[in-house]
Structure 1
Amino acid sequence: MISRLHDPASRGFASDNYAGIHPDILAALATANEGHQAAYGDDAYTERLQHVFRDHFGARATVHPVLTGTGANVVGLQAMTVPWGAVICAESAHVNTDECGAPERIAHLKLLPVPTPDGKLTPALIERQAGGRGDVHRAQPTVVTITQPTELGTLYTPQEIAAICAYAHDRDMTVYLDGARLAHAAAALDVPLRALTTDAGVDVLSFGGTKNGLLLGEALVVLDPDAVRGTEYLRKAAAQLASKMRFVSAQFIALMESGLWLANARHANAMARRLAGAVSSLPGVRVVRPVQSNAVFAVLPADVTARLQKRHPFYVRDEGTGEVRWMCSFDTTPDDVDAFAAALAEELAASGADTEPVTP
């Protein structure tokens, strides 16, 4: 018997990946565990999942369950590019900074990063890397990728995504959306998932599950079948074809059919707003970015950060500026937020912080 290795009452704000599994997802896994099903996606759950995702993304959508977000990005981008192709992304994009070079190492594509003030691309910013078409010396820009919400917690409106897609399509480029937290964006903007994807002109996207209550699993969703090639083969070659795929698919069915995806995301977003409100008035704290989804970015004195991390896990985003990131989850409670804010106040008082609070 495995003994408990942690204090279940201990909650941090490092990542929504730290959260456990939603009880409804556990129940779905238990149901899917009954009897035998065909392997590698030829099961009843994965077949049903196609219809579930089409309800959200449109009749042409095809969903490919995968194991990780990096895997979804690698398979999706590789399926959209040619060997001489390049992908334009924000400099802060997860594919550029947090995937150990996987898109370039595994997918053999060239990333063309663009500096952005808030993590968001625009047609004008994309234009900086969109040149050189037909130049044999340059990797050819063929795909634009955006993250929604961005790695800095900011949101694209449906109109902003549509403008990017129109710009890209006019130049024979396609658009990939990294949607690891797409549910949180839809919840924050109060729009259907297809408003941020299908209706805006996105060609392919990833849809996150692990950050929104699943045990594991992400979804690669192809909206335009003409924008990809060989997706099934590339998924296998990238080690993302789960043999017991029914357990990934069953989780997504439970998440998507009942509206749990939206309830979880709304709750996480609300906890982030509560957290920002609780800490922004504390002397020595600067909330430095708009709180638009389930992330809060702030600057703290370095000694306060070091001590507070021993009490509640969270990450430092920028050692130079002292910027930290706090993430809220589907299972973050108001008591968690209040306890964290109280601990922060104690550490600020211990450090003698007297800086006036500043908010965006």
Structure 2
Amino acid sequence: MRAFASDNYSGVHPDIMDAIVEANKDHMISYGEDPVSDEAEKLFQNHFGEDAKIFFMTTGTATNTLILKHLTRSWNSVICTECAHITVDECGSSEAIAGVKLIHAQTVNGKLNVESLKPLLSGRLDVHQSQPAVVSITQSTELGTLYTLAEIKDICDYAHSKGLYVHMDGARITNAATALGVSFKEMTVDCGVDVLSFGGTKIGCMGAEAAVFINSELGKGFGFVRKQGMQLTSKMRFIGAQFKALLSNELWKKNAEWSNSLAAKLAAKAAEINGVEITRPVEANGVFAIIPKDIVATMQEKFPFYIWDEATGEVRWMTSWSTTEEDIDNFCAALKDALD
């Protein structure tokens, strides 16, 4: 099966699988005290600063949820977009597990900005209202768009001026950094981001995510939150091994460059087909389009993908590190045939 439903559909990159096998050769200390995890943490610190606190996790939902739980009290709220993964695709875990209210800001192309934050802070210090404590942004966004460095910095500066923290959901942070041509540090540390969820699974790992506390003071005590949240993996070396491989020899960048480039190719080829409308800017590895509803099911049988908006007929096509040029050609050929 060749799919465009999600970059989660792709398998594990061979270099990462080899790293897992290598980590399996001997006994090692459990719960992250092993040398492999230690090396992986140091690689993270090379990107995010030597004081950054790194906590390996297994799922993006757990990483986002436990970070927000750690940063908030029961009367707090988190500001995010109406399409944020934390509010649409995590089954209410922020509310159920973190116990925090989510407030939606107005957006353009999946991005919030300072002007959209201002109205949501007008009731701060009013005992009758939940108190915003965190602004959460996604990079790249759920709509496949990117925040510029200036946009991230503006949000961070404003949030900090109001006493709020900034969390970045980086499920596709590698695609974003590569597309912008910047380092992780430039896109996070230098802009003022306090903490981020670093996604490895979508870019070639088996199941590897990380909570990265750039503000090391904020990371104090999170180890207990991770354990209580059932995310302290006993054989942590297998997650460490994946990140060690991903962050070595710029594998993350190679994988992201490839998936981004194929998304651009897919959008360009599909746009040439009568009856296909590309609906959003293609800035990372996601393509959004409208195609006639009567061909959606037929196409999904051949190449699985998701319907994004039932009302408008908008669909989403995602490319991954393992997508091939032949996949693009075959998909577009099938799309053209279905429309003829």
| TM bucket normalised to smaller | over 0.9
Q: CA RMSD in A?
A: 0.9
More displaced 10-residue stretch of structure 1: 319-328 or 111-120: 111-120
**C-alpha displacement of 1:229:** 4.6
Contact conserved, 1:79 with 1:229, CA < 8 A, in 2?
A: no
DSSP 3-state at the match of 1:291: coil
Q: Pick one of 120, 141, 155 that aligns with 1:150.
A: 141
Per the alignment, residue 168 of structure 2 pairs with: 177
* Identical-pair percentage: 48
Structure 1 stretch displaced more, 51-60 or 313-322: 51-60
CA distance in 2, matches of 1:28, 1:96: 34
User: Counterparts of 1:237 and 1:284 in 2: how far apart (Å)?
Assistant: 51
CA distance in 1 between counterparts of 2:281 and 2:184 reads 22
Residue from 157, 173, 180 that aligns with 1:189 = 180
Moved more, 73-82 or 181-190: 73-82
> In the alignment, which residue of structure 2 is the partner of 1:15?
6
1:338 to 314, 319, 329: 329
Q: 1:212 aligned to 203, 208, 228, which one?
A: 203
CA contact (8 A) 1:75 1:238 kept: yes
Q: Could you list the per-position Cα deviations for residues 209-238 of structure 1 after superposition, in whole angstroms to 9, with x for gaps in the alignment?
A: 110000111011000023345211111111
What amino acid sits opposite 1:85 in the alignment?
N
Asked whether the 8 Å contact 2:177–2:183 carries over to 1, the reply is: yes
Aligned-partner Cα distance in 1 for 2:265–2:189: 32
Distance in 2 (alpha carbons) for counterparts of 1:42 and 1:227: 21
For the 8 Å contact 1:174–1:227, the answer to whether it is kept is no
The match for 1:310 among 293, 301, 305 is 301
Q: Tell which deviates more after alignment, 224-233 or 261-270.
A: 224-233
Answering whether residue 320 of structure 2 is matched by residue 329 of structure 1, we say: yes
What is the aligned counterpart of 2:269 among 255, 278, 286?
278
Alignment of 1:42-61 (within 5 A): 42-61=33-52
Give the Cα separation in 2 of the matches to 1:281 and 1:102.
41
Determine the C-alpha separation between the residues in 1 that align with 2:22 and 2:206. 15
Residue 262 (structure 2) pairs with residue 261 (structure 1): no
TM-score, normalisation: structure 1:
0.93
Q: Secondary structure at the match of 2:62?
A: helix
Question: What residue in structure 2 maps to residue 90 of structure 1?
Answer: 81
8 Å CA contact 1:86–1:109 kept in 2: the answer is: yes
The CA deviation string for residues 59-101 of structure 1, in whole angstroms up to 9 with x for no partner, is 2211100000001001111111122111000111000100000
Per-residue deviation, residues 85-123 of structure 1 (Å, max 9, x unmatched): 110001110001000000110011111112313110101
Is 1:159 aligned to residue 150 of structure 2?
A: yes
Question: Residue type of the partner of 1:322?
Answer: G
How many residue pairs were aligned? 340
**1:334-354 deviation digits (Å, cap 9, x = unpaired):** 0000000000000011xxxxx
Distance verdict in 2 for CA 1:33–1:228, change over 3 Å: closer
* 8 Å Cα contact 1:80-1:229 kept in structure 2: no
- Corresponding letter in the other structure for 1:343: A
Consecutive unaligned residues in structure 1, runs of 5 or more: 1-9, 350-360
Other structure's SS at 2:166 match: strand
Given the alignment of the two structures, is residue 81 of structure 1 paired with residue 58 of structure 2, yes or no? no
CA distance in 2, matches of 1:99, 1:202: 22
* Aligned equivalent of 1:33: 24
Indicate the SS of the match to 2:247.
Answer: helix
- After TM superposition, the score normalised by the length of structure 2 is 0.98
